[in-house]
Structure 1
């Protein structure tokens, strides 16, 4: 089995791993001012997509001229298709050259075969199976076995702990080779209950003095989890942005949701806002959960424009803020760029760790469990310190481990 690492090597973004020049696992982009794609030309016969986030799925439509077979879980297909259509729409609106066109997007839908987790299937000479990865609804880790019975397990983005929205990953097969994400190696998440309590206390503190709370949130996963948390404490927020569309997709796949009844109640109790309704909204002692999660575009900027001079209000960031984004600038300087204007934010800015990735302890335990069951080689990717994780595995577990460089190939 030959592996070529074409993205997410000692970085986060553009995940892509090619097996035997036939099977591509993920094919994503690194979003930003200059979008990065996986390196080197590829002509895979099949593509396996772990989950819908664009750093794992965003470049798949670019390969449709090859007419590959594409495999993913049903929620991943619906969510990835939603994001792909939005990406195309944004590019056309902003006068940019899109990476794919509507014909390729249609081919993407036509070429995709939807496979549930826990279902074994065969493709292009390989035995394959998706396993629940926790991360977001539909997220799957990928098990691959070749004709020589050599096996590989690719985690994608994984979370072994339960969240309000999805159950954590608990079932893993034996594998000769493990390819693991490394996002939070060296960083431990605070206990979720403590994070939730601090978040809710902060929201109530603001509402009680007449301020409003803007909660920028990622559309897939974070918006839905936060609405469930707010609903559990009797808070009925406004919800805006693509998170509403993502919820409607998730509701079609209740078997991938930990508590679909609570998710439905949370959205039923929230007030959905879109279009012209935004400007007429009375923002007094209210909570608004809206995209974009890093303050780069989306409805959130319109809400901030109305409240950025109000010291009683708050902006509560619910996820990691990438360098160069408005969210990071807000944390570092208290300013954002909004429609070409620098706005100094008088609302208090807070950040809470609602990560959907395994933390340091969980990552290490997962790798140890694999190696205890016979895994002989580990590759670490998708992180800022992949080399450190590989060194820890070699030193503490005694198994061969490597953090591949971009474009590097290995024979296993």
Structure 2
């Protein structure tokens, strides 16, 4: 197989791997002040999308002039199409040049074939199967086999542990080649129950003194999980932003949800807020779960503008904060840029590890398992220390491992 790494190399974001110049696995963007796209020059005949987050799906409509066949799970299609519509709407509103237009977005919908996990299919000379990856509803790893029976397993974003929202990934197939994410190599996640308890204690402490808890959350996955956690402890929250629409799409696919009954109850018990009604939201002793998860745009900036001088309140971050985002600036320096104005944040800023990715131990166990069953080459990507992970695999597992650079090609 010929592999070309178009993005997410020694970085988090813009995932894209091209196989034999025919099949593209993911085609995302990197968020931040300046959006980064995969390196150019690709003309794939087929695109396989692991999941809906924009760092894996966000640039797929840009390839529709090639008329490729596009494959993804049903939840991934619904959620990625929602995000693509929103991206286009924001670009048009702000007068920016979008990466695609409404015609290309329509082609994206028309060209996409929705395939459930566990259902083998064939495209352009390859046998393919999506396998549950944990992470978010619909997320899948990709198992691809060529005509010479050479096989590749691409993890995408993977989590082998259960969360409140989705079950963890299990039962990996044998594969000659492994391409794995490396997001949390070197970092262990604390026990989930411990994180949940600390989060709830922090929320309750703030409510008790009359403060407001603002929880910036990714629309897909994190908003739903946080609402389920709050509901499990009898805390009724406001919910604002695209997470509500994402929830409604998830309800179409209950088989991809660990506990759809609890998810429904959590949203039934919350208070959904739309733009015109934000002024009616109670801003004392309240919890507001809202997008965007990295504080770059979205309703969260409205709520922060109301509470950024209030030391009794809190901003609780629940996800990874990419370098250059408002969320990272808030963590590092206690400031954000809000509608062109630098705001110094008086609320306490906390971060809790609700990661939907495997931690260091789980990543190492997964790689060892693959290699014990015959994997010959491992490629590490989508992380801040991909080189370290590759070195560990070479030294501790004894299998050839590489941390590709952007645009690098390999023949394996």
Indicate whether the TM-score tops 0.5: yes
Could you give the per-residue CA deviations for residues 73-101 of structure 1, whole angstroms, max 9, x where no partner exists? 00000000000000000000000111110
Q: Is the 8 A contact 2:189 2:353 kept in 1?
A: yes
Query: How much has 1:347 moved relative to structure 2?
Result: 1.4
TM-aligned CA deviation for residue 371 of structure 1: 0.5
Q: Distance in 1 between matches of 2:15 and 2:113?
A: 20
Equivalence for 1:239: 239
Q: Distance in 2 between matches of 1:86 and 1:171?
A: 35
Query: How far off is 1:343 after superposition?
Result: 1.8
Q: Which position in structure 2 is the counterpart of 1:292?
A: 292
Match of 1:203 in 2: 203
Total equivalences in the alignment? 412
Find out whether 1:367 has 2:367 as its counterpart. yes
Alignment-derived partner of residue 97 in structure 2: 97
Residue 32 of structure 1, CA deviation: 2.0
Q: Could you tell me how far apart the structure 1 residues matched to 2:354 and 2:284 are?
A: 26
Q: Which residue of 2 aligns with 1:402?
A: 402
For the 8 Å contact 1:132–1:171, the answer to whether it is kept is no
Q: What do residues 363-383 of structure 1 show as CA deviations (whole Å, max 9, x unaligned)?
A: 000000001111111011111
Q: Is the 8 A contact 2:33 2:325 kept in 1?
A: no
CA distance in 2: counterparts of 1:324 and 1:383, whole angstroms: 16
The residue number in structure 2 matching 1:110 is 110
5 Å matches for 1:227-306? 227-306=227-306
For the residue of structure 2 that corresponds to 1:276, the secondary structure is helix
Calculate the TM-score normalised by the size of structure 2: 0.99
Once the two structures are superposed, the pairs formed by residues 351-362 of structure 1 within 5 Å of their partners are: 351-362=351-362
Map 1:35-74 → 2, pairs under 5 A: 35-74=35-74
Q: Deviations over 1:266-313 (max 9, x none)?
A: 000000001111012221211000001111111011111111222211
Q: Contact (CA 8 Å) 2:216, 2:318: kept in 1 or not?
A: yes
- The Cα of 1:40 is off from its aligned counterpart by 2.9
Q: CA RMSD in A?
A: 0.8
Q: Is the 8 A contact 2:118 2:129 kept in 1?
A: yes
Aligned twin of 1:342? 342
| 1:171 corresponding residue in structure 2 | 171
Which residue is 1:316 aligned to? Answer: 316
Asked whether the 8 Å contact 2:32–2:322 carries over to 1, the reply is no
- TM-fit CA distance, 1:147: 0.6
- Residue 390 of structure 1 corresponds to which residue in structure 2? 390
Q: Report the secondary structure of 1:264's partner residue.
A: helix
Q: Distance in 1 between matches of 2:407 and 2:308?
A: 45
Deviation string, structure 1 residues 154-193 (Cα, Å, up to 9, x no partner): 0000000000000000121000010000111001111101
Determine if contact 1:380/1:386 at 8 Å carries over to the other structure: yes
**Contact 1:206 1:285 (C-alpha < 8 Å) held by counterparts:** yes
Q: 1:185: which partner in 2? A: 185
1:2 maps to which residue? 2
TM norm structure 1: 0.99
Q: Which moved more, 1:193-202 or 1:309-318?
A: 309-318
In 1: Cα distance, 2:39 partner to 2:267 partner: 41
Q: Which runs of 5+ in 1 are unaligned?
A: none
State the alpha-carbon separation in 2 of the partners of residues 335 and 69 from structure 1.
Answer: 44
Distance 1:365 1:248 in 2: 35
CA distance in 2: counterparts of 1:35 and 1:303, whole angstroms: 25
- Secondary structure class of the residue paired with 2:178: strand
Deviates more, 1:193-202 or 1:334-343: 334-343
1:152 counterpart residue number: 152
Q: Per the alignment, in what secondary structure is the counterpart of residue 135 of structure 1?
A: coil
2:378 counterpart residue number: 378
Runs of 4+ aligned residues of structure 1 deviating over 4 Å after TM superposition are none
Q: Structure 2: where are the runs of 5+ without partners? A: none
